[in-house]
Amino acid sequence: MSKPLTVLCLSSAVKGQRLIQELKRLGCRVFLLTEERWRDDAWPYESLEGIHYMHSLANRPHVLNAASYMARGLQFDLIIPLDEYEVQTAGALREHFIMPGMTASEAQPFNDKLAMRARAQAAGIPTPEFTPVFNYDVLRAWMARVPPPWLLKPRHEAGAMGIKRCEDAEQVWRWLDQLGDEQSRRLLEQFVPSDVFHVDALVWQGQVVFSIASAYDKPPLSVSHGGGVFVTRTLPAESDAAQTLTALNARVIGALAPRGFSGAVHAEYLRALETGQWLFLEAGARVGGANIADMIEYATGVNLWAEWARIEVAHFLGEDYAPPATRRDHAGILICLARQEHPDLSSYNAPEVVWRLKKRYHAGLIVVSPDPARVQSLLDSYSRRFVEDFLAHAEPWETGRMV
Which domains, from first to last, does the chain contain?
A: 6-101 (3.40.50.20), 129-190 (3.30.1490), 194-389 (3.30.470.20)
pLDDT at 220: 73
What pLDDT, on a 0 to 100 scale, did the predictor assign at position 2?
A: 73
246 three-state secondary structure: helix
Q: Who's near 212: CB < 8 A, 6+ residues apart?
A: 199, 200, 201, 234, 237, 296, 299, 300
Is the peptide bond preceding residue 149 cis, with omega within 30 degrees of 0?
Answer: yes
Residue 339 CA to residue 355 CA, distance in Å, equals: 20
Instruction: Return d(Cα 100, Cα 135) in angstroms, integer.
Output: 37
pLDDT tens digits for range 276-332: 999 999 999 999 999 999 999 999 999 999 999 999 999 999 999 999 999 999 999
- pTM, full prediction: 0.93
Q: What is the pLDDT of residue 396?
A: 56
pLDDT digit string (tens) for 126-160?
Answer: 999 999 999 999 999 999 999 999 999 999 977 66
Flag residues of the chain having pLDDT under 50: 400-403
